[in-house]
Amino acid sequence: MSDVAIELFSSLSATPLPAELWPFGNDALIPLDRWLEFVIVDIIVQYCRPFFQVLSDSIRIVLNGIQWFFVDAVHPLTLLMGLLTIAWQIAGRNTAIFSVVAMAVVGAIGAWDDAMVTLSLILTAVILCAVVGIPLGIWTASNKHAERAARPVLDAMQTLPAFVYLVPVVMLFGTGEVPGTIVTFVFAVPPLIRLTNIGIRGVPSDVVEASRAFGATPRQTLWQVQVPLAMPTILAGINQSLMLALSMVVIASLIAVGGLGQMVNRGIGRLDIGLAGVGGISIVILAIVLDRITQALGNAGADALPWKERGPLGALRKLFTGRRSPAATS
């Protein structure tokens, strides 16, 4: 490679460049690989092992609980009824019917258990994204120095190929579903931080000033004015994190994560197009169902009511309280 570069430089230059003066050879001038190995293996892995063990155990408890609920505790028909109710409440009747039919198709093609394992991993990763990403987004929105420091880190996290995350995660946490959840979280959290930041900064300044003029403290202004007004943007960030988490399913299967990604991985390894196709189609169906439901969270329905005031829950509220909706009384 260096010989080609010397010849190219010499052809463009009036005086040929001696080989010994060419600075870039096969040996790196900056041993970045050895520095990274020293930092990760000799420092972080050796001295921070108890912290990573506690973090791994905490995530395993949440993941095993969600997976037990979806795979072992509840019958698939009961889960479909629950999906019908939740989707009807949040996204309307048509989306609810579509969601139930779509997930029934996943079960009919023999991918129900794998889909539930994948759903457990995704929900755990998205919960981690919400716990970490929303506070970080609020913090960067209220602190210019934090926003400037976080911007290049988020750029790097969104630019790095997803495969790059596998190496340090495997070195720190090993293989299995917990490392798969962690690598999915790292890949999916940047959009939530950015959109939370944008949502908080997008609140009109006159609204913020008015709340302060009426005596609200900074904490009250944040939680009672800025966060509610920014909620549609924050929910859009959660939707983006959910979709990125789904896109990470197949890559995470390379570190022994089960579910639909492992089905696709096995199909590729055996050149079994049927097995890979079933896994891929099931991932697409799961993504469409989750996308339709989460997109509707931040939108008012056709009757201009928030999701809490419509659907089965709205009917129960009116039944027990006797209160009529604003749309009905107008």
25 near 2, Cβ under 8 Å? yes
Neighbours of 149 (CB within 10 A): 11
2 near 24, Cβ under 8 Å? yes
pLDDT band at 282 (very low <50, low <70, confident <90, very high): very high
Q: How far does CA 118 lie from the centroid of its chain?
A: 13
Q: How far apart are CA 288 and CA 293, in angstroms?
A: 9
Q: How far apart are CA 191 and CA 138, in angstroms?
A: 13
Summarised one tens digit per residue, pLDDT across range 211-253 is 888 888 888 888 888 888 888 899 889 989 998 888 888 888 8
159 near 227, Cβ under 8 Å? no
Q: What is the pLDDT of residue 1?
A: 46
Q: Is the pLDDT of residue 13 over 70?
A: no
Residue of 94 and 330 predicted with greater confidence: 94
Contacts of 308 (CB under 8 A, 6+ apart): 314
- Residue type at position 74: V
Quick one: which H or E segment has residue 128?
helix 112-142
Task: Answer whether residue 3 is part of any domain.
Answer: no
Q: How far apart are CA 132 and CA 121, in angstroms?
A: 17
Residue of 317 and 92 predicted with greater confidence: 92
DSSP 303: T
Q: How far apart are CA 79 and CA 286, in angstroms?
A: 14
Angle in degrees, 0-180, between the axes of helices 260-269 and 273-297, rounded to the nearest 10: 150
Q: How far apart are CA 255 and CA 52, in angstroms?
A: 18
Summarised one tens digit per residue, pLDDT across range 143-193 is 888 888 988 988 888 888 878 888 888 888 888 888 889 889 998 999 999
Task: Answer whether residue 134 is part of any domain.
Answer: yes
Q: What is the pLDDT of residue 166?
A: 84
Q: How far apart are CA 51 and CA 173, in angstroms?
A: 11
Task: Answer whether residue 232 is part of any domain.
Answer: yes
Q: How far apart are CA 91 and CA 300, in angstroms?
A: 9
- Domain count along the chain: 1
Please tell me the pTM assigned to this model. 0.80
Neighbours of 99 (CB within 10 A): 23
Q: Is the pLDDT of residue 72 over 60?
A: yes
Least confident of 36-45, 71-80, 124-133, 171-180: 36-45
CA angle centred on 72, ends 68 and 73, rounded to 5°: 85
Task: Answer whether residue 257 is part of any domain.
Answer: yes
Q: What is the pLDDT of residue 320?
A: 72
Summarised one tens digit per residue, pLDDT across range 76-94 is 999 999 999 888 888 888 8
DSSP per-residue codes, 234-275: HHHHHHHHHHHHHHTHHHHGGGT--SHHHHHHHHHHTT-HHH
41 near 171, Cβ under 8 Å? yes
Task: Answer whether residue 100 is part of any domain.
Answer: yes
Sign of the torsion angle spanned by Cα atoms 285, 287, 288, 290 = positive
Q: Is the pLDDT of residue 61 over 50?
A: yes
DSSP per-residue codes, 82-120: HHHHHHHHHH-HHHHHHHHHHHHHHHHTT-HHHHHHHHH
Task: Answer whether residue 206 is part of any domain.
Answer: yes
Residue of 13 and 300 predicted with greater confidence: 300
Q: How many residues does the chain have?
A: 330
Residue of 318 and 16 predicted with greater confidence: 318
Long-range interactions of 147-154: CB distance < 8 A, separation 24+:
147/197, 150/193, 154/190, 154/193, 154/194
Residue of 166 and 22 predicted with greater confidence: 166
CATH (domain of 283):
1.10.3720.10
pLDDT band at 328 (very low <50, low <70, confident <90, very high): very low
Task: Answer whether residue 314 is part of any domain.
Answer: no
User: Over the chain, what is the mean pLDDT?
Assistant: 82
What SS3 class is residue 29? coil
DSSP 323: P
- Please give the residue range of the domain that contains residue 268: 45-300
DSSP per-residue codes, 287-300: HHHHHHHHHHHTS-
Task: Answer whether residue 131 is part of any domain.
Answer: yes
- Tell me what percent of the residues of the chain surpass a pLDDT of 90: 24
